[in-house]
Amino acid sequence: MIDVIGIINLVSNDYALGEITQHRPLATVPFGGRYRLIDFALSGMINSGIDNVGVLVPLKQRSLLDHLRSGRDWQLDRKRDGLTLLPPAYERQKQPSLHEIGNLHANLAFFQKSRQQWVMMIPGGIVGSFDFKPAIAHHRASGADITLLYSEQEPHEYDCTNHVGLDIAADGRVQAIYSRPTSAEARNCFWGAMICHKDLFTSLITKHYAGSAENLLQALGQELGNLCIKTYRYPGMLGRIHCLKSYYRQNMLLLNPETWRQLFLQSGPIRTKVQPEHPAKYAADAHVAASIVAGGCIIRGAVDRSILFSRVFIEQGARVTGSILMANTCVAKNAVLENVICDKDVKISAGRVLCGQPDNPLVIKKGTVM
């Protein structure tokens, strides 16, 4: 238990993953065989000793509320602290706020009544086995007003938009924030995580709610001259998901046993909503290689380099390669899937052949019968 309020900021590009995010926010996009993206941020909070966690709820919230419920699956249903949902602002004659400042302003009461002194805010679309304790200790020792967490990115990671670059001076102070960086500017990638004192945080929200900043990033840019904003280089594995390509690639990375171990066995468990599943069942003619398989699956066919979520059925003679099959996908006899992402409840009928490209996977919409 540490003296920190955790905020998970789910206000983001709501259509980042096309059809996959048509009916759900980025936060509840299924990932890695049994998780939703928000599980990594939430588990990171718990595993870092932060147990007063507020979640900034986006406008599309049905699947989020269904997933989180009381927070019990993350051990956040507590008599004191635990999970608090922070819904978007409602104001008469005004559109609901689409950015986090309005949302945070509507929920200032949460900060006022929390007894912790510090605020750690992280985004929802990140994958990793997080331990934020060193970052928090670094912030408190550095004397900075605000600490932004960044990762050093390899150039091939720049192929997607939504990167934010930081220009960091020798003394660690942020000199500039680039919201549409060139590849040189994007080297120090700010991934939306920040730490500051609660009083400063609430006064910034109050100030910029009345000001011209359209989002928190712009507000931080405006404060660069006024406040001491420093950085902390996050050393661990960090997957950022902001488009279909990054989603597919981050999933496929898990098929590497080293990455699988790093993500799941490093800093405590990744928790998620618990459902009763029977153990995965392999039939006599199952051929499975280089794949990850969740509970409740029944496999009679061939599966290679793929991720099977809960209760996926692969019939005899079916071949699945390089694909992500979300919960309840059924692949009938002799069907062939290559580089396909099946959203939940998809049925592929016997003999169908569906192919996408490794750099452009084919997405089958939730509930489709093909």
Partner 1 sequence: MGQQEFIALILAGGQGSRLSHLTKNLAKPAIPFGGRYRIIDFTLSNCYNSQVATIGILTQYQPFELHSHIAASRLYEGANSSGGIFILPPYTTDAGGDWYKGTADAVYRNIEFIQRYNPRYVLILSGDHVYKMDYRTIIAHHKQKKAEATIAVIEVPWAEASRFGVMTADADLCIREFAEKPAQPKSNLASMGIYVFNWPVLKEFLLADAQDLKSDHDFGKNIIPAMLQAGRELYAYPFQGYWMDVGTIESLWQANMDLLGDNALFDLSDPLWPIYSVDPAQPPHLVAGRAATRQSLICEGCQVYGQVEHSVIFPGVYVAPGAMIKNSVVMPNSLIGANAKITGCIIGCGANIANDCEIGADGGEKITVVGEYAHIAAGAKII
Judged by DSSP in three states, 349 sits in coil
| 360: β partners | 357
**260 near partner 1, rule: CB under 8 A:** yes
Half-sphere exposure of 321 (CA within 13 A, CB side): 11
Residue 364 contacts residue 346 (beta carbons within 8 Å): yes
Least separation, in Å, of the C-beta of 352 and partner 1? 23
Residue with tokens 């003679």: 317
Stretch of 16-24, 137-145, 270-278, 319-327 lying at the interface with partner 1 (CB under 8 A): 270-278
Query: Which of 39, 223 has the CB closer to partner 1?
Result: 39
Query: Which of 38, 294 has the CB closer to partner 1?
Result: 294
**274 near partner 1, rule: CB under 8 A:** yes
Q: Name which position in 23, 67, 207, 281 contacts partner 1 (CB under 8 A).
A: 281
Least separation, in Å, of the C-beta of 65 and partner 1? 19
| 299: β partners | 282, 314
Residue 148 contacts residue 223 (beta carbons within 8 Å): no
Q: Name which position in 290, 350, 353, 369 contacts partner 1 (CB under 8 A).
A: 290
Judged by DSSP in three states, 38 sits in helix
Least separation, in Å, of the C-beta of 69 and partner 1? 13
Greatest Cα pair distance in the chain: 68
**46 near partner 1, rule: CB under 8 A:** no
Q: Name which position in 69, 285, 358, 369 contacts partner 1 (CB under 8 A).
A: 285
**271 near partner 1, rule: CB under 8 A:** yes
Burial class (CB in 10 A: 0-12, 13-18, 19+), 130: buried
CA distance 214 to 266: 37
**169 near partner 1, rule: CB under 8 A:** no
Least separation, in Å, of the C-beta of 125 and partner 1? 19
Residue 196 contacts residue 252 (beta carbons within 8 Å): no
**280 near partner 1, rule: CB under 8 A:** yes
**102 near partner 1, rule: CB under 8 A:** no
**284 near partner 1, rule: CB under 8 A:** yes
Query: Which of 164, 294 has the CB closer to partner 1?
Result: 294
Encoding tokens for residue 213? 């900043």
**276 near partner 1, rule: CB under 8 A:** yes
CA distance 86 to 186: 31
Query: Which of 66, 285 has the CB closer to partner 1?
Result: 285
Contacts of 28 (CB under 8 A, 6+ apart): 36, 37, 38, 63, 64, 67
**355 near partner 1, rule: CB under 8 A:** no
**358 near partner 1, rule: CB under 8 A:** no
Nearest 10 degrees: CA dihedral of 193, 197, 199, 200? -60
Q: Name which position in 270, 340, 342, 346 contacts partner 1 (CB under 8 A).
A: 270
Encoding tokens for residue 45? 């909070």
**34 near partner 1, rule: CB under 8 A:** yes
Contacts of 356 (CB under 8 A, 6+ apart): 338, 339, 340, 341, 362, 363
- Where do contacts with partner 1 occur on this chain (CB under 8 A)? 32-34, 255, 257, 260-261, 263-264, 269-271, 274, 276-296, 298, 300, 307-309
